[in-house]
Structures are given as C-alpha cells and as structure tokens.
Amino acid sequence: MRIFAIKERTKTADSTDKTIFMQNRITEQPSNYRDLETRSIEELTGFINSEDKSVAPAIEKELPRINALIEVIVEKIKNGGRLFYVGAGSSGRLSVLDVIELPTTYGVSPDLFQVILAGGVDRLVEAREEMEDDKNEAWEKLREKGISKKDIVIGISASGTTPFVLAALTTCRKEHIETGCIVSNPGSPIAAQALYPIEVITGPEFITGSTRMKCATAHKMIFDMISTTTMVRLGRIIDNQMVNVKLINHKITDRATKMLMRLGDISDYDMAKEMLFRNGSVQNALKSLNSKNHRA
C-alpha cells in the first residue's frame, strides 16, 4: 500500500519548470463566471452551489492515495508517533479546527495530531498571510516539538508552492522524516517533496484565485476523512458511537449516558450515569461492566 502512494518526481525543478508551473496553476485560472456584480442573489448562490458539486468527485479520484496516507498515519501513531500538519492560509486554518476537536470527541492526547501554522496557531484569527513566505519558522517549530522519524509531516497548500510549507517538507525529507501533502494543483513543488501526495484538483474558483472556496472545502473534507478514519482504526469508536467522548457538558454527558445504556443493556439512567462518571468514558465503563459479568 505504501509504494502505491508514492509518485516518482524529481526533488527539485529548474527555474524554467518553476516559472511554467507558476503561470499554469489551476487555482489561479480565471473563474468560469463573469460580471458577477450584475447577478442576482439567486444566480450567485446557484452558481456557487453548482461549483461545490465538483468537490466530492475530485476527492473520490484521490481516494487510493488518501487511503494509503491514512494507513501510514495509523501505523505511525500505533508505534508512538504523531501527525503534524504544516499549513498556511484558509486550508491551514481549517486543519486547526479539525485537530482541536479530536481530544474532546475521541478522548485522545492533544499531542497526537498537531498543527504548525504560518503565523502561529495562537494568532489564528489574524490571518497573517505574510508569514507564508517564512522559510525557517515551520522547521524551527517542528524541532521545538521534538520531531523525529517516528512522526509524519503533512504539508497543506492550495497552490502547492507556499514557501512556509515547502521548506518544512524539504527539510523533513533530508532528515528522513516521512511526508505527505494536500494540494490543489498537479505537479507542484510541494507534492515533489511528499512521499504521499494528495492532489485534489477542484478547478478554477468562483471568485478567481479565492482558494478559501472549493479548495478549502475539499481540504476540510479530507481532514475529516483522515482524522475520523484514523480514530476508528485506533479503536476509539465502537459500532458508530463516540465511546471515548469527554464529558465536558450536560448535553454530551446525557448522550454518553444513553449510549452506555444501549451498549451495556442498562435500564436505569442514574446508575448508568454514575458508572460513566466513575469510569470516565463509555468505553471504560463497558470494559468494567464486561469484566464484572465475566467474573460472575
């Protein structure tokens, strides 16, 4: 499965190739729609909805490579490694939104999935786009996190050229750290540095060059696939239930209590809730229940 995902590419392109690539980026091609300022609300939303329909088929074409990347991620984590997203722009910020929910939803350590974001995760809402050109920060942050060969680094860039991301992946390759990427132009410099490249091509944007639209939507859907599938394969789900969800509020606690009642065949709500709090999660409560039943 691993070999299937690796595309044969040269590690560096000459200046002519780079110039041609920059001039032909699909993400920068003109929109298929003109004179937008003259259009009605109904026309505009209809056009956008029509464009969004192309996202899922574009992802479907990349499923074999997405699957191969996830297989490597699961193996890395099972062996004590971590996943690092290195990103910038809209897609980089969306990776943060995906990652921050994993500890609550699946009860895992926040160290398992991490994001190195241009400008810093702590300044997420400032959209510091100028930091995309920094070629040193990402690798410095990875070193601070103790990056090693046990981990995997996934670059995120709609264009496939972001210096912040490219420099990090280039150094990772030199350090023999496995790499992947999610980009939206074919044959990009970033994909050339990824052992497991995902090139999800969604075409020109509705607003020319505004990759916060289809590109970012496609990337967010792939983040969902990666994190959800990884958590299932790591045993954080039973059937289709969030059995390791953190009990952080009344709504979730009520949901978890009812989940435990169904999965553990418990009819008493208060007893199930007390068992849930005592064990900390539905999965742990079920293990405790099964252990008692086995001894009986």
Active site residue 101: yes
Environment class of 67 (CB within 10 Å of its CB; exposed 0-12, middle 13-18, buried 19+): middle
Among 60, 101, 126, 140, the one annotated catalytic: 101
What token pair was written down for 37? 């300022």
Distance CA(263)–CA(272), nearest Å, equals: 11
- CA–CA distance from 51 to each of 23, 38, 57 (Å)? 23, 19, 11
Which residues, 6 or more positions from 12, have their beta carbon under 8 angstroms from its beta carbon?
Answer: 192
The answer to whether 184 touches 159, Cβ cutoff 8 Å, is yes
Q: For residues 221 and 184, what is the distance between their CA atoms, to the nearest angstrom?
A: 13
Q: How many CB atoms lie within 10 A of CB 200?
A: 23
User: Pick the catalytic residue: 132, 178, 199, 205?
Assistant: 132
Neighbours of 133 (CB within 10 A): 12
Active site residue 51: no
Active site residues: 101, 132
